[in-house]
């Protein structure tokens, strides 16, 4: 399991409590926390750890095992995935309020894509152990967080499924 602490040049900033102000600033775009009240957000922030990384840092590497997701607080991150020939393809970028890495947080399976800092970035990290502790210690917040994660994955699944159908249609009409 690759912990974010093991990545050179990543600086640990402590728990997310000092960042609650920043999280509240960007809360409208944080889909994951959209139904969280201020006190719930503070409850959650105690379980998240913040990090800063300079431009170019590969914070998550495709294929690595990982067990954390991260919320972008500042800066932006490029999502890159290798194609069949092993050439990196840019899948998108994620700015403040976006979350990355939820899939491996949930199943611990290898990372689907890499995440590279496009400038100096600050992120709040939630790992599996913290998620388990939230559920055990603060079940109300834990259940809410799980429900938000379900909504998020669900929305992505609908989006990707629609894209897949479109792609298959396009291939079919080309073959015809």
Separation in Å, CA 149 to CA 101, 159, 176: 12, 15, 40
Sign of CA dihedral 10, 11, 16, 18: negative
Minimum CB separation of residue 167 from its own copies in Å reads: 4
Mask: binding to its own copies, 83-102, rule CB under 8 A, as x and -? xx-----------------x
Nearest-angstrom CA–CA distance, 105 and 32: 14
Q: Does 160 bind its own copies (CB under 8 A)?
A: yes
Q: Does 35 bind its own copies (CB under 8 A)?
A: no
Tokens of 126: 């939630």
Q: Does 149 bind its own copies (CB under 8 A)?
A: yes
Q: Which is nearer to its own copies, 52 or 144 (CB)?
A: 144
- Residues forming contacts to its own copies in the complex (CB under 8 A) are 81, 83-84, 102-103, 106-107, 109, 112, 135, 139, 142-143, 146-147, 149-151, 153-158, 160-161, 163-165, 167-171, 174
């Amino acid at each position: 399991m690759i912990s974010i602490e093991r990545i050179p040049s990543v600086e640990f900033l402590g728990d997310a409590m000092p960042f609650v102000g920043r999280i509240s600033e960007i809360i409208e775009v944080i889909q994951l926390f959209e139904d969280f009240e201020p006190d719930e957000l503070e409850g959650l922030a105690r379980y998240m750890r913040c990090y800063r990384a300079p431009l170019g840092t590969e914070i998550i590497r495709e294929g690595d095992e990982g067990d954390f997701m991260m919320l972008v607080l500042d800066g932006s991150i490029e999502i890159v995935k290798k194609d069949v020939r092993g050439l990196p393809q840019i899948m998108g970028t994620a700015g403040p309020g976006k979350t990355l890495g939820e899939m491996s947080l949930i199943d611990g399976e290898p990372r689907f894509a890499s995440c590279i800092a496009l400038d100096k970035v600050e992120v709040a990290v939630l790992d599996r152990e913290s998620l388990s502790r939230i559920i055990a210690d603060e079940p109300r917040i834990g259940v809410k967080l799980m429900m938000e994660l379900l909504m998020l994955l669900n929305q992505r699944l609908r989006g990707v499924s629609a894209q897949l159908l479109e792609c298959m249609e396009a291939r079919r009409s080309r073959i015809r």
